[in-house]
Amino acid sequence: MKAKLEIFLRSVLILATVTFISHTAIAKSTFSQEKLKKACENYIYKNVGEDAIVSLPKVISNQEFDENEVVANIVTNIDNLQGNITLKIEFRKNGTLLRYTEIPARIKLYRNVVVAEQTIISGEILDDRNLKIEKKEVTNFKEDLFYSINSLRGMKAKRNISKGNILSKALINIGSSVKRGDKVTLIVKSGAVSIRTSGVALQDAEEGNNLRVKREGYQGVFQGKFNSDGTVIINVD
């Protein structure tokens, strides 16, 4: 009787062991640490370009599912792929969300941008003499930067800019400007009457400044406000 009981118990133990192994083996969708890491890197480089340094955790948990044909998708906003971020990965089966995981990442961005070739003084005109293109880390820049010197030629520095600093819109006067001798459009207003004619600027001016002008065909000098659209408003009331 004792011998039969021992045989029965060994049979139960063997059955239990086989059942556990079978349960582990039926996981039909597996996303390994290496696969998840590679997917994250590809997603980042695809959206921010190759000029970046990506840091991911050394250990990323494997993701296993009993279901087959599970699909993984990264759903992180591509507009926020810089600095310290969190990549969210969803795992779905036939469109149904099974689970998601979040992976922290650090992304350093590098770009060829316009920088100061030398110290630039407030009010100084920007040109090839004081500007150059250089690859810089721009991870922490939220402002609009410049990637071509052509887009800055003739503009003026709004404040002092140290040598090597990246130029952003916060550092320069973006508004319209006019130089002495430039042709401008004059809008002369008198009450409800408005006359549009041509004139010549007699001085340099920025958007919003008062500007002395000479109307074509007339000797007199007028003064008006220089607007962003390049017109000069002259009130003669």
Phi, psi of 197 (to 5 degrees): -150, 180
| Identity at 27, one-letter amino acid code | A
Do 45 and 105 touch, CB atoms closer than 8 A? no
DSSP 3-state percent helix, strand, coil across the chain (nearest 5)? 20, 40, 35
Beta strands 183-190; 231-235: pairing state: parallel
pLDDT-derived band at 3 (thresholds 50, 70, 90) equals low
- In 10 A of CB 232, how many CB atoms? 24
Q: Please tell me the distance from the alpha carbon of residue 49 to that of residue 38, in angstroms, as a whole number.
A: 15
Q: Which residues pair with 156 in a beta bridge?
A: 125
Q: What is the pLDDT of residues 96-155, one digit of tens each?
A: 999 999 999 999 999 999 999 999 998 888 899 999 999 999 999 877 899 999 888 878
pLDDT-derived band at 53 (thresholds 50, 70, 90) equals very high
Q: Please tell me the distance from the alpha carbon of residue 107 to that of residue 125, in angstroms, as a whole number.
A: 35
Evaluated on CA atoms 113, 85, 65, 35, the torsion sign reads positive
CA-wise closest residue to 165 among 124, 128, 143, 134: 134
Q: Please tell me the distance from the alpha carbon of residue 33 to that of residue 58, in angstroms, as a whole number.
A: 9
Q: What is the pLDDT of residues 167-195, one digit of tens each?
A: 998 898 776 677 888 888 888 888 888 88
Do 197 and 186 touch, CB atoms closer than 8 A? yes
Residue ranges of E strands in the chain: 29-31, 52-55, 63-65, 71-74, 83-93, 96-116, 131-137, 177-178, 183-190, 193-201, 205-206, 210-215, 221-226, 231-235
- pLDDT given for residue 26 in this prediction: 56
Q: What is the pLDDT of residues 206-221, one digit of tens each?
A: 778 899 999 877 778 8
Do 150 and 171 touch, CB atoms closer than 8 A? no
**Residues in the chain, how many?**
237
What is the 8-class DSSP label of residue 156? B
- In 10 A of CB 115, how many CB atoms? 20
Q: Which residue has the tokens 């952003």?
A: 168
Q: What is the pLDDT of residues 15-33, one digit of tens each?
A: 333 332 323 445 689 999 9
- pLDDT given for residue 15 in this prediction: 34
Give me the chain's average pLDDT, please. Answer: 85
